[in-house]
């Protein structure tokens, strides 16, 4: 089977425009994520959510979102979805075992989509106001990114949970 390339000038121009646009989109996602080691993962995830220019809510698993829930969304500066997941955790989470697990699974599967929606919103806001491509990328890096303080809060909560567990197990043994 032979692959035939159309070498007409208009197709070359369209190809170059598409390639430049793709490069711009990749750079914007990289600026939004603001962690080079995670950029490719987010680019692949975001490509699942956009089918020919139409947003499509799809499942994309994240173990970080599964285990950290609303804190993962706070880390990625998605405050409204974080609040909604927190409220769901407090209400649905009251159902023993199944409720909390259901919220964890939902968050693990859909948190990345909420991050994508936040990216798209910021992208539209930036593109509506700023003409220069480099300024857009710089602005996305400033308003995108992540909240480092959430990492410290998460580490503190995990440490407190671990210490509580140890004290609940070993303190009664030491008192007897």
Output the pLDDT for position 14: 63
Average pLDDT over residues 146-152: 92
Domain residue spans of the chain: 39-46+58-145, 149-176
Over residues 15-68, the pLDDT tens digits come to 556 656 779 999 999 999 999 999 999 999 999 998 888 999 999 999 999 999
Band the pLDDT of 1: cuts 50, 70, 90: very low
Over the stretch 80-98, which tens digit does the pLDDT of each residue have? 999 999 999 999 989 998 9
* Confidence class for position 10, pLDDT limits 50, 70, 90: low
DSSP 95: S
Classify the phi-psi angles of 50: left when phi > 0, otherwise alpha if psi is within -120 to 50, otherwise beta: beta
Measured CA to CA, the distance from residue 13 to residue 31 in angstroms comes to 27
Calculate the CA 56 to chain-centre distance: 15
pLDDT of amino acid 8: 53
Is pLDDT at 104 greater than 60 in this prediction? yes
pLDDT digits (tens, 9 = 90+) for 122-146: 999 999 999 999 999 999 999 998 9
- Asked whether the predicted pLDDT for residue 75 surpasses 50, the reply is yes
Question: Could you give the count of Cα atoms lying within 13 Å of 115 in the half-sphere of its Cβ?
Answer: 34
Contacts of residue 37, Cβ cutoff 8 Å, sequence gap at least 6: none
pLDDT for the residue numbered 51: 87
Please name the helix (run of DSSP H) or strand (run of DSSP E) that holds residue 55, with its range, or none: strand 54-55
- Tens digit of each residue's pLDDT (9 = 90 or more) over 159-175: 999 999 888 888 888 78
């Amino acid at each position: 089977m032979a692959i035939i390339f159309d070498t007409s000038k208009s197709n070359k121009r369209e190809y170059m425009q598409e390639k430049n646009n793709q490069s711009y989109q990749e750079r914007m996602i990289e600026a939004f994520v603001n962690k080079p080691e995670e950029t490719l993962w987010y680019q692949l995830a975001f490509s699942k959510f956009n089918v020919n220019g139409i947003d499509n809510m799809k499942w994309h698993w994240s173990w970080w979102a599964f285990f950290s829930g609303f804190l993962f969304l706070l880390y990625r500066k998605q405050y409204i979805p974080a609040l909604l997941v927190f409220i769901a955790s407090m209400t649905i989470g009251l159902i023993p075992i199944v409720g909390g697990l259901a919220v964890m699974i939902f968050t693990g599967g859909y948190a990345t989509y909420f991050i994508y929606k936040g990216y798209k919103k910021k992208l539209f806001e930036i593109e509506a106001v700023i003409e220069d491509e480099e300024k857009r990328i710089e602005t996305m890096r400033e308003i995108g990114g992540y909240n480092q303080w959430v990492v410290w809060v998460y580490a503190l909560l995990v440490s407190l949970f671990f210490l509580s567990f140890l004290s609940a197990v070993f303190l009664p043994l030491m008192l007897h």
